[in-house]
């Protein structure tokens, strides 16, 4: 069954199944707070991200996110929001599966993942970082990046400075 055919509650339950694979326990009311994001494209099977936010204050943010098999989070960056603020810095720590992360820098030859074919021109970051369970990587502020799960999907913790998603800049023309 395609993700696009599922209701939000069904996707939230599917996300919780992945969280359980990574030994993450959420209460029933927390499962209902899982955010399902298709970035307004209506293509959750290809482009999307599901997350649960534990906390987001003026100082820090902690969340867990799930990518379903080969699902891609579109390329974006976290710019400075206020004067003197460099932008959001985030550390990803993979807890289950594989995450193919692409950041600005020297392009990797023969990358393991590729954006959906019809969107390839919307992605420019090409330096590959592969994260498997126990690996982590810190993305500097104001750095273009995108990521895709491997064949079994992925669960990743994200620790960052304050998350101000409304200020994120996406390179995809339709977002």
What CATH number does the domain containing 73 carry? 2.60.120.10
Say what percent of the chain tops pLDDT 70: 99
CB 150 within 8 A of CB 17: no
CB 33 within 8 A of CB 50: no
**Burial annotation 97-130 (CB, 10 A radius, 16+ → b, else e):** bbbbbbbbeeeeeeeebebbeebeebbebbebbb
Mean pLDDT, residues 19-48 taken together = 97
Looking at the domain assignment, is residue 114 inside a domain? Answer: yes
Mean pLDDT, residues 53-65 taken together = 97
Mean pLDDT, residues 88-108 taken together = 98
Residue 76 has pLDDT above 70, yes or no: yes
Looking at the domain assignment, is residue 72 inside a domain? Answer: yes
Q: Closest by alpha carbon to 105, among 79, 75, 122, 125?
A: 125
Looking at the domain assignment, is residue 14 inside a domain? Answer: yes
Report d(CA 28, CA 162) in Å as an integer: 26
Report d(CA 31, CA 23) in Å as an integer: 14
Mean pLDDT, residues 36-61 taken together = 97
Looking at the domain assignment, is residue 84 inside a domain? Answer: yes
Looking at the domain assignment, is residue 111 inside a domain? Answer: yes
**What contacts 165, CB < 8 A, 6 or more positions away?**
none
Residue 138 has pLDDT above 90, yes or no: yes
Residue 174 has pLDDT above 80, yes or no: yes
> What domain range is 65 assigned to?
3-167
Q: How would residue 132 be classed by pLDDT, with cut points 50, 70 and 90?
A: very high
| Terminal-to-terminal C-alpha distance of the chain | 25
Q: Closest by alpha carbon to 154, among 105, 112, 106, 104?
A: 112
- Identify the pLDDT of residue 84: 84
Looking at the domain assignment, is residue 172 inside a domain? Answer: no
Residue 112 has pLDDT above 70, yes or no: yes
Looking at the domain assignment, is residue 62 inside a domain? Answer: yes
Mean pLDDT of the chain, nearest integer: 96
Looking at the domain assignment, is residue 173 inside a domain? Answer: no
Q: How would residue 1 be classed by pLDDT, with cut points 50, 70 and 90?
A: low
Say what percent of the chain tops pLDDT 90: 95
Q: How many domains does the chain have?
A: 1
């Amino acid at each position: 069954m395609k993700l696009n055919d599922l209701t939000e509650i069904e996707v939230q339950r599917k996300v919780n199944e992945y969280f359980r694979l990574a030994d993450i326990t959420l209460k029933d009311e927390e499962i209902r707070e899982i955010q399902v994001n298709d970035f307004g494209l209506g293509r959750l099977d290809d482009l999307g991200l599901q997350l649960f936010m534990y906390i987001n204050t003026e100082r820090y943010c902690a969340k867990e996110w799930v990518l379903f098999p080969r699902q891609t989070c579109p390329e974006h960056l976290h710019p400075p929001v206020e004067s003197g603020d460099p932008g959001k810095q985030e550390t990803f720590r993979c807890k289950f599966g594989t995450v193919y992360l692409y950041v600005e820098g020297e392009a990797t030859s023969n990358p393991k993942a590729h954006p959906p074919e019809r969107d390839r021109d919307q992605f420019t970051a090409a330096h590959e970082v592969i994260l498997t369970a126990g690996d982590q990587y810190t993305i500097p502020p104001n750095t273009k990046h995108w990521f895709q799960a491997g064949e079994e999907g992925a669960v990743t913790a994200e620790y960052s400075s304050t998350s101000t998603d409304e200020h994120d800049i996406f390179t995809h023309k339709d977002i």
